[in-house]
Amino acid sequence: MSFRAAFLPILRGSLPGPPVQVGPVIRTRSSQLVNRRFSTATHAHGRSHGHSHGHAHAESTPRQRTGPGAFRRWATRFALALAFPAVYVAGAAFPPQLVLFIFPRYAPPPPHKDSARGKSHTSDMESCIHELDIVEEMRKKTGEGEWYETRPYQNYDPNKVHNSLTAGSLRGPGMLAIAPVLFSKTDESEAIAVIHLGRALCGHDGIIHGGLLATVFDETLARNALLNLPSNIGVTANLNINYRSPCMADQFVIVRTKLESIKGRKSIVSGYMETTNGERIADATALFIEPKWAQFLASSGVTEAMGTRKIPDPSKSPMLLDDQTEHII
Please tell me whether residues 96 and 151 are part of one structural domain.
Answer: no
pLDDT above 70: residue 215: yes
Q: Is residue 127 part of a domain?
A: yes
Among the listed ranges 86-90, 132-136, 308-312, which one has the minimum average pLDDT value? 308-312
pLDDT for 300: 67
Verify that 207 and 266 share a domain, yes or no.
yes
Q: Is residue 212 part of a domain?
A: yes
Among residues of the chain, what percentage have pLDDT more than 90? 45
- pLDDT: is 175 or 92 the higher one? 175
- Residue 180: name the closest of 168, 156, 161, 196 by CA: 196
Higher pLDDT, 290 or 326: 290
Nearest to 257 by CA among 162, 324, 149, 185: 185
Local confidence band at 78 (pLDDT 50, 70, 90 cut-offs): confident
Q: What is the pLDDT of residue 90?
A: 62
Q: Please, which pLDDT band fits residue 258 given cuts at 50, 70 and 90?
A: very high
Whether residue 213 sits in one domain with residue 140 = yes
pLDDT at 209: 96
Do 126 and 188 fall within a single domain?
Answer: yes
Decide if pLDDT at 175 tops 80.
yes
Are the C-beta atoms of 179 and 151 separated by less than 8 Å?
yes
**DSSP collapsed to 3 states, the chain:** CCHHHHHHHHHHHHCCCCCCCHHHHHHHHHHHHHHHHHHHHHHHHHHHHHHHHHHHHHHHCCCCCCCHHHHHHHHHHHHHHHHHHHHHHHHHHCCCHHHHHHCCCCCCCCCCCCCHHHHHHHHHHHHHHHCCHHHHHHHHHHCCCCEEEECCCCCCCCCCHHHCHHHHHCECCCCECCCCEEEEECCCCEEEEEEEECHHHECCCCEECHHHHHHHHHHHHHHHHHCCCCCCCCEEEEEEEEECCCCECCEEEEEEEEEEEEECCEEEEEEEEEECCCCEEEEEEEEEECCCCHHHHCCCCHHHHCCCCCCCCHHHCEEECCCCCEEEC
| Mean pLDDT within 289-311 | 75
Residue 127 has pLDDT above 80, yes or no: yes
Q: In the structure, what pLDDT confidence band is assigned to residue 97 with cuts at 50, 70 and 90?
A: low
CATH of residue 132: 3.10.129.10
Q: 320 or 104: whose pLDDT is higher?
A: 104
Residue 283 and residue 232 in one domain: yes
User: Does the residue 122 lie in any domain?
Assistant: yes
Amino acid identity, residue 217?
Answer: F
pTM: 0.65
Mean pLDDT of the chain: 78
Could you tell me the pLDDT band of residue 101, with boundaries at 50, 70 and 90?
low
Evaluate if residue 125 carries a pLDDT over 80.
Answer: yes
Is residue 109 domain-resident? Answer: no
Q: Is 30 part of a structural domain of the chain?
A: no
Question: What is the average pLDDT across 74-84?
Answer: 80
In the predicted structure, residue 296 carries a pLDDT above the cut 80: no
Write out pLDDT tens, residues 19-65. 444 444 444 444 554 455 445 444 544 544 444 444 444 455 555 55
What is the predicted pLDDT for the residue at 302?
Answer: 72
Sequence-distant (≥ 6) Cβ neighbours of residue 50 within 8 angstroms: none
78 and 133 belong to one structural domain: no
Q: Which residue has the higher pLDDT, 133 or 4?
A: 133
Q: Does residue 95 sit in the same domain as residue 235?
A: no
Domain count, the chain: 2
Note whether residue 302 is domain-resident: yes
Do 91 and 157 fall within a single domain? no
pLDDT reading at 6 higher than 60: no
Residue 94 and residue 120 share a domain: no
Give the per-residue pLDDT at 83: 77
The pLDDT value given to residue 44: 47
In a domain, 67, yes or no: no
Q: Over pLDDT 70: what percentage of the chain? A: 65
Give the pLDDT of residue 52: 46
Whether residue 80 is found in the same domain as residue 189:
no
Q: pLDDT digit string (tens) for 138-168? A: 999 998 889 999 999 888 888 888 888 998 8
- More confidently predicted of 303 and 316: 303
8 Å CB contact between 147 and 141: yes
Highest mean pLDDT among 19-33, 74-88, 147-161, 252-266: 252-266
Q: How far apart are CA 273 and CA 192, in angstroms?
A: 10
93/171 same-domain check: no
Q: In this structure, is residue 62 part of a structural domain?
A: no
One domain, residues 130 and 256: yes
Domain enclosing residue 81, as ranges = 74-103
